[in-house]
Amino acid sequence: MSISPSGREPVRITRIATAALMGHSPPGGWSAEIRPEDSIHTLIAVHTDAGVTGFGSAFAPGPLVAAAVAQLQPLCLGMDALQPERVSETLHRHSFWFGRGGTLTHAISGIDIALWDILGRVTGLPACILLGGRYRDRVRPYCSLLMTGPDRMGERIARWRARGFRAFKIGWGPFGRAGDSRLDEAIVRAAVDALPGGGQLMVDAGASDAFWPHGLKWALRTADMLAEHGVAWFEEPLPPDALEDYVTLRRAARLPIAGGEVLTRRQSFLPFITRGALDIVQPDATKVGGLSEQRRIARMAEDFGLAYVGHGWNTALGLAADLHLAAALPGVGLVEYIGGSPYVDALTAEPFALDGDGMLAVPDRPGLGVAPDPDHVARLSPDAAALFAD
């Protein structure tokens, strides 16, 4: 085995395995709704010759991730797993010809998260220390809920408020899709009325949905309505390619405009950041290129005076990654938490739990500090055995 210049032996990548999560996919409000048996999230395990395995998560269906990994794995077998950014950048640069972004980048995201997990496990350090330091030990989660009609929206907020959440994001569902601005406002009013004292509400239109029916004028009118109700930010109010409209909306809106969850790699965020299209940038670690890319985007946003809040509609591993990056950056106070998803609540041996202040502790064990439980994964994936096999 060759020795690195530092005198240590490399920890070499020997195998990458995938496991599609399926059977419990929560509703998302899409125009073509995902069924529980559909796969939209995939776990990734990176195995090494040191017997250390790291785990990550990719936001893409299992068959697509498996095909992407089959293409990517030969490029990184034998590479040093303790150099996550080098490995991930190698995968990006050697896959340009096959389509930058998309499923290949989503798969690289899961590999990258797993590599940071390995680096932490080998060094004995939590990922946040390796990512830049630990500015905080806990972060406030906002409970991400699918919108319903106003008759049930307040009840849904109240149910999760009783579990300790103080910040909420409601999105998709009938909002903007029923063509009734009075209904949109009634939904928001019901949610605001159900908030705990001092609670926060964010609204996600979900304009990355297929055949989103609205444009700039709808977004301008709706932003005014949301500002009147004290909403903290307006997320995905426009289709993700409408850069000029985002610039116009952000200048005119009286509340912050958030977006970026479907963008991949830092290069896609550059025009949105440099043109002033967003107040809050929202890369998803399981899509954008992993923690390596997410950190670069977050710091780039900070340099331009913008806020960063990671998009986290994914899994417990994605949530752990978001918690570590939120701890490693000076100005991040929120992480997204899907309300009621088994892929978050029933994936690890020890589920995440809110403290008495409605906060989540940043894991302090090495690496991500959490790991998928084999028995739990076996109930959520037909591919569980391959994920854990030596």
Radius of gyration of the chain (CA): 20
Q: Residue 52 is part of a domain; what is its CATH number? A: 3.30.390.10
Residues 121 and 179 in one domain: no
- 368 within domain boundaries: no
CB 98, CB 32: distance < 8 Å: no
CA–CA gap between residue 359 and residue 141 (Å, rounded): 6
User: Splitting the chain (390 residues) into consecutive groups of 10 residues, what average pLDDT does each group show?
Assistant: 61 98 87 85 98 98 97 97 98 90 96 98 98 97 97 96 97 94 98 96 97 97 98 98 98 98 95 98 98 98 97 97 98 96 95 96 98 97 91
* Backbone phi and psi for residue 48, each to the nearest 5 degrees, phi listed first: -135, 165
Q: What angle do CA 322, 144, 317 make, to 5 degrees?
A: 30
* Backbone phi and psi for residue 49, each to the nearest 5 degrees, phi listed first: -75, -5
- The residues, any chain, with a CB within 8 Å of residue 250's CB and separated by 6 or more, are 257, 276, 277, 278, 279
Q: How many domains does the chain have?
A: 2
- 212 within domain boundaries: yes
How confident is the model at residue 27, as a pLDDT? 83
Residues 118 and 150 in one domain: no
Residues 108 and 135 in one domain: no
Residues 213 and 194 in one domain: yes
Residues 256 and 118 in one domain: no
How confident is the model at residue 28, as a pLDDT? 83
CA–CA gap between residue 275 and residue 269 (Å, rounded): 10
- 367 within domain boundaries: no
CB 41, CB 57: distance < 8 Å: yes
Residues 107 and 45 in one domain: yes
Residues 17 and 114 in one domain: yes
How confident is the model at residue 31, as a pLDDT? 81
Residues 202 and 56 in one domain: no
Q: Please, which residues bridge with residue 168 across strands?
A: 143, 201
- 35 within domain boundaries: yes
- 2 within domain boundaries: no
CB 382, CB 353: distance < 8 Å: no
Residues 88 and 194 in one domain: no
Residues 264 and 307 in one domain: yes
- 309 within domain boundaries: yes
How confident is the model at residue 1, as a pLDDT? 37
Residues 219 and 140 in one domain: yes
- 200 within domain boundaries: yes
Amino acid of residue 126: P
- 213 within domain boundaries: yes
Q: What is the pTM of this model?
A: 0.96
How confident is the model at residue 25, as a pLDDT? 87
Residues 249 and 322 in one domain: yes
Residues spanned by the domain of 236? 129-361
Q: Residue 277 is part of a domain; what is its CATH number? A: 3.20.20.120
How confident is the model at residue 6, as a pLDDT? 61
